Amino acid sequence: MLGKLFGFRSARILLSSQPPTRLCAQAGRSHGPYTPHFASSSILIRRQFLITLPKTPKILPSPSPQAVAEISALEAAADAEPRNVESQVKLLRHLVSTQTKTGYKLVMNRWERMCQFDPASPLLRSDEAFELYLTALAKSGHEASITHAAHRRDTLLSGNGVSEDVSPSLDAHRIEVPPSPTPSLTAELPESPPNLVSRSRILAQSILSKTFKTAQPSTGTPESSPVGAAVAGSGVGVSGNPIHVTLSEPRGATFMRFVRFIVLTFVGSFFILVLLAVLLENSGLLKVNRKASEFEPMQSKPVKFSDVLGVDEAKEELQEVVEFLKNPATFANLGGKLPKGILLTGRPGTGKTMLARAVAGEAGVPFFFASGSEFDEMFVGVGAKRVRELFAAARKKQPAIIFIDELDAMGGKRSSRDAHYMKQTLNQLLVEMDGFQQSEGIIVIAATNFPESLDPALVRPGRFDNTIAVPLPDVRGRVQIVRHYMKDVTSSPEVDPMIIARGTAGFSGADLQNMVNQAAIKASRDGKKEITLKDLEWAKDRILMGAERTSHYIDPKVKKMTAYHEGGHALVALYTEGAMPLHKVTCVTRGHSLGLTQFLPDDDQVSVSLKEYLASIAVSMGGRAAEDLIYGEENVTSGCMSDLKNATKQATNLVRLFGYSRKIGPVHYQYDDDLSTAKREEIESETQRILVDGYNRAKTLLDEKKDELHRLAEALVEHETLDLAQVRRVIKGEPIESVEESLSKLTSESESPPPVLEPQSEGSTAGEGEQAEVAAS
C-alpha cells in the first residue's frame, strides 16, 4: 500500500490544489458547516490565528525506498498491536518526518479512524500522537480543523461518546475551498467547551503558533493566508464591523426562567396586596361609604307602636323602656337605672325589627342598626373594631338605641376548641355592654330566632336584662294585621277580615302581608277592579299548598288513585272523634304533591289531648288504608311516605315525650343517650303498636264507608277540589254543581259571588308528598 502511494503516480490522491476551509473528524461521511459556541477564553487567540494563517507550505518530494520499507515495517507492527501506543506513535512520527502530503494524509486517516471506530484506544490519551496529528493537519494546509480536532479529543476523553455530527474522511471525498472569496468566519470556528483550557487545546494553540511564526516573515500581512485574505476581504473583525458572537443556552433554561419569574411575581403580588388591604382597612378608607349606614343614626320615617299589630304583650313591656328614655328622672328618683339590653325572640316575620324601630320612634332618640353578620370579615380583629366604633358613635348621640339583628351570628356559645380570633367580636360586645367602662344612656335591643344558641355570658342580667318573646299573632292580632294591610289595596266590601283571620292560623304578620299582596296581583292579572274573597282564598292556598301545576299531565289511573287516597284522609277526618275539622280536599297537583287534604282548627290550639293525637294518627293512615282497601296491599304506592313520617313522629312523641304509654309510663326521654337497649326496644314496640292501631282503625272505618269513598273519589276526579260542604253533599249522594255549570255561571255573571267559608282556622295534612315523584318517573 505504501509503495503504491509513494512510488507510483497511478495511485491518485483526490486532493484539490487549494487548502480546505475546515477538516471534519469523521472518515467516510460528508457533513455541513459546524456551528461553534464561543464560550472559551481562547476565542481571541483562535480569532487571531484564523485571520493570519499562512499559505500551505511546500511539500517535499517522495521519500527514498529505504524510508518506505522502514515505514512499511512500522505499519505492520502497528497493525499487529493496535493497542501499543509506542508502536503507533513511532509509525506516526516516521510518517510526519517524510514531509510529504501522502504521509500527512496517512497520519490523519489513522488518527480519525481510531477516533471513529476505537474511541477507547489508549492512543487517544497520548499527547505526542495527538501533536503529530495536529502537525499533519497544519503541514497539509488544514489549519482551520485544528481547533475542532482538539475539541473532539476533549469530548472523547470526557466520556460523552463519539458524535455522529463529524466530517468525512480525506480518502473518501475531495476537500475543496468554497468558490466565494469571502467565506463566513463564524461557520469556520469550531465549538469550544465552557471548561478551562485543556491539554488538547494547549497543543492546538502551540501548533498554530508555530505555523504563524513560520509564515509571518515570508508574508508580513494577514491577507497572505486563505482565511486571512477572506476575512480581510470581507471586512469582518475590524473596527466598525465586529464579529457577532451568539451564546446558546441549554435546552429548557428559558422555560424554567419564565416559570420562576411568574411564581416570584405571583407571590410578591399576593403579599403586597394583603399588606395594602390591611393598611386600607385600618386607615378606614374602605369604610367611607359604609359608615353612613352602620355607625350613623338611621334617617327614615319614624315607626310608632300603633304601626305594630298583633303583639300587644311585647308592646306593653317595651313601653316601659320608652317611658324611661323620655323621662329618666322619674325612674331615677327611687334609684332605678336604665336597662342595658333587651332580647327579642320569636319566629321569623313576627315583627321583632319593627318593635325595635317603634321603641326608637316613640322615644325620639337616635336609632343605630347593625346585623350580626356584618361585623366579622376575612381579617382578624375587624369585628371587635367595628363593635367599638358602633358603641363610640352611639355614645356621642346618647341617649340612643342600638339594634343588632340576628344576634346569634356573632353571639354563639364559645368553646375551648374555637380559635381565639373567633371570640374577639363577642368578647368586645360583652365588654361594651357591661365592662369596666359603663355605657349610660344606651340601650341595646337584639333579635334572634335561636335564643338557645347564645352564649350564657351574653344573656345574663346586666347585659340583656329583659327577654321578650314575640309570638305569632292570635285571631285578634291577625284581624288587626289584615285590616291594616287591606287599607293599602282596593278590596270588595264583602271581604270580611274575621273570616280570613280564622282561616290563617299559624300565619305571621309577614305571611299575612304576602297573602294580601298575592291576592292583589291575581286580581290585577284577571282584570278585576277590586280584590274578592276568592282571590284571598287562592293566595292562602298558594302559600300553604304551593302553586298549581296546571301544565303537569297526570295519567287518569294515577289521578283516580290520588282521589281515593285523599278521600280516605277526608272520610277518616269526618267520622273520627277528636280529629281536626276538614276544610278542603283536592287532587290538583301542587308543588311536589299530587293531592292534599286541608284542615281548619276551631280555634288557636295551645295544647293537644291524647284523643286528638290518636285521631290525627288515624287520619294520616287514612290514605294508605284507602289504597290498600281499593287496590290491594301489593299496589300501595310510595306516596304514603309523608303520611307515615308524620304519624311515626306523633306516635314517638306520645311514648317518649308526653308519657301517654301505659307500658313505658309517664317519663320523658328526649335524647337517645338516656335510654338503655331494653328501654329503646320497649319504646319502639309501643310506637309500632300505636301506629298499627291507628292504621287498623282507619281501614275498618273506610271498609264500613266504602260506598261513600267511591262517590267521593269520583267527585274528586271530576271536580278536582271540594270544600267541606261539597264533601258532605257528595257522600250523601246529592248532586253538586258540575264544571260546565260553573263555567257557564262565571261567563253569565259579571262578578261571581265569593264562596262562604266557615269561621274556622286552618291546618293541613299533606298526603301525596312523595307520589309526585313516582308519577313523574
pLDDT digits (tens, 9 = 90+) for 547-568: 776 666 778 888 899 999 999 9
Segment 294-308, tens digit of pLDDT: 566 666 677 888 888
- 566 given a catalytic annotation: yes
Write out pLDDT tens, residues 245-293.
777 777 777 888 889 999 999 999 999 999 888 887 776 555 544 444 4
Distances in Å between the alpha carbon of 171 and those of 57, 94, 99, 253? 21, 20, 18, 42
- Of 45-54, 119-128, 716-725, where does mean pLDDT reach its minimum? 45-54
Give Dmax (Cα) for the chain. Answer: 148
- Residues 404-426, mean pLDDT to the nearest whole number: 80
Mean pLDDT value across the chain: 75
User: What is the residue type of 106?
Assistant: L
Euclidean distance between the first and final Cα of the chain, in Å?
98
Q: How confident is the model at residue 437 (pLDDT cuts 50, 70, 90)?
A: low
Which is catalytic among the residues 75, 143, 566, 708?
566
Average pLDDT over residues 493-519: 88
Ranked by mean pLDDT, which of 139-148, 225-234, 589-598, 650-659 comes out on top? 650-659
Under a CB-based contact definition with an 8 Å cutoff, are residues 82 and 91 in contact? no
**Bridge partner residues of 400 (DSSP):** 442
Q: Which residue has the cell 487567540?
A: 45
Distance CA 6, CA 16 (A): 18
Coil, helix or strand at residue 399:
coil
Q: How confident is the model at residue 626 (pLDDT cuts 50, 70, 90)?
A: very high
- Among 186-190, 398-402, 456-460, which is the least confidently predicted range? 186-190
User: What pLDDT does residue 572 have?
Assistant: 95
How far apart, in whole angstroms, are the C-alpha atoms of residue 404 and residue 376? 14
> What is the structure's pLDDT at 553?
72
Q: Compute the Cα dihedral for 79, 85, 86, 92 and give only its sign.
A: positive
C-alpha cell at 426: 363577642
Q: How far apart are CA 330 and CA 97, in angstroms?
A: 134
Residue 44 predicted with pLDDT over 60: no
Run of H or E including 342: strand 341-345
694 in Cβ contact with 621 (< 8 Å): yes
